[in-house]
Amino acid sequence: MKYIEPHGHMVSRTTDDYQKMAMAGCEAICEPAFWAGYDRASVQGFYDYFRQLTEYEPARAAKFGIPHFCWLCINPKESEDAGFAREVLSLIPEFIDNPTVLGIGEIGLNKNTKNELAIFEEHVEIAKKYDQPILIHTPHLEDKLKGTKLIIDALKNAQVDSSRVVIDHVEEHTAGLVLDNGFWAGMTLYPESKCTPARAVDILENFGMENIWMNSACDWGVSDPLAVVKTALEMGKRKYDKDTVERVIYDNPKSFLENCPNFKI
Ligand SMILES: [Zn+2]
């Protein structure tokens, strides 16, 4: 099996996790900038985090033979203080030309507030200015549908090319909305909450296998760095052939990521 982990927060994982992913056939890991499990106290905290994403984590992944790429932003959870968020945004140009940076993400909404939306729109302007693709985080539970609609409206207002945007954490009630508007959709697999492997395959069966990827998030919470592989096994159990499985776990993320000039495997 070969696959791509298109959304993994490796800064919170151990070297054992890297080893397991390498053994399972992982050919690339893409790490969006996000909340780190705690709120950073200063802009300097983000400067250090961007260095971790662009320097230290690629070096750690390389020890296991896996290319590591990243996306840059301040996440919606820490964007509520708009003044602070703008100071973090001002750091992005310094890092954007790094050879492993894929684009702007994961930006989006957390509680669908006015400040979050303003900072989201400012990120979109940076992406347009530097001609970068965008990776989007959608809110959880009851905020998800409303947040997804707000995000799609903002992207349409900004006239962003939808084929260069992936909207992540889709579920049954948002996948159709995202795909019908021409965006890529991402499903985030978690062992307990959110999308389990079986539920993800149900979603694939309902919405098709075009323009959709799966990721494990593998963050600081209860999560599983092998969730994509386990979902591939679930597809095998349901008698999907090897080519179809590979299309979902390798070809699809590769197709989207080829929008990013720095993505090479
Ligand atoms: Zn994430």
Query: Over the chain, what is the mean pLDDT?
Result: 96
* 241 CA distance to ligand 1 middle (Å): 29
* 9 CA distance to ligand 1 middle (Å): 6
Q: Which structure tokens are listed for 248?
A: 């979902």
Q: Is the pLDDT of residue 193 over 90?
A: no
CA distances from 50 to 71, 100, 241, 257 (A): 9, 12, 40, 20
CA distances from 224 to 34, 60, 68, 91 (A): 17, 19, 18, 31
Q: Please list the residues that pair with 208 across neighbouring strands.
A: none
* 23 CA distance to ligand 1 middle (Å): 23
* 109 CA distance to ligand 1 middle (Å): 12
* 198 CA distance to ligand 1 middle (Å): 20
* 138 CA distance to ligand 1 middle (Å): 10
Write out pLDDT tens, residues 75-110.
999 999 999 999 999 999 999 999 999 999 999 999
* 239 CA distance to ligand 1 middle (Å): 30
User: CA angle 190-30-90, nearest 5°?
Assistant: 110
Write out pLDDT tens, residues 46-55.
999 999 999 9
Kind and range of the H or E run holding 4: strand 3-5
Indicate the SS3 state at residue 30. strand
In the prediction, which pLDDT does 142 show?
Answer: 86
* 7 CA distance to ligand 1 middle (Å): 6
With contact defined as beta carbons under 8 Å apart, do 150 and 167 qualify? no
* 217 CA distance to ligand 1 middle (Å): 5
Residues with CB under 5 A from ligand 1 (ion): 34
* 78 CA distance to ligand 1 middle (Å): 14
DSSP letter for each residue of 250-262: IIHHHHHHTTSTT
With contact defined as beta carbons under 8 Å apart, do 126 and 92 qualify? yes
* 32 CA distance to ligand 1 middle (Å): 6
Indicate the SS3 state at residue 187. strand
In the prediction, which pLDDT does 192 show?
Answer: 76
With contact defined as beta carbons under 8 Å apart, do 77 and 62 qualify? no
* 119 CA distance to ligand 1 middle (Å): 17
Write out pLDDT tens, residues 118-163.
999 999 999 999 999 999 999 988 899 999 999 999 999 999 999 9
With contact defined as beta carbons under 8 Å apart, do 259 and 54 qualify? no
pTM (2 d.p.) = 0.97
Q: Which structure tokens are listed for 208?
A: 């098709």
* 106 CA distance to ligand 1 middle (Å): 7
Write out pLDDT tens, residues 10-51.
999 999 999 999 999 999 999 999 998 889 999 999 999 999
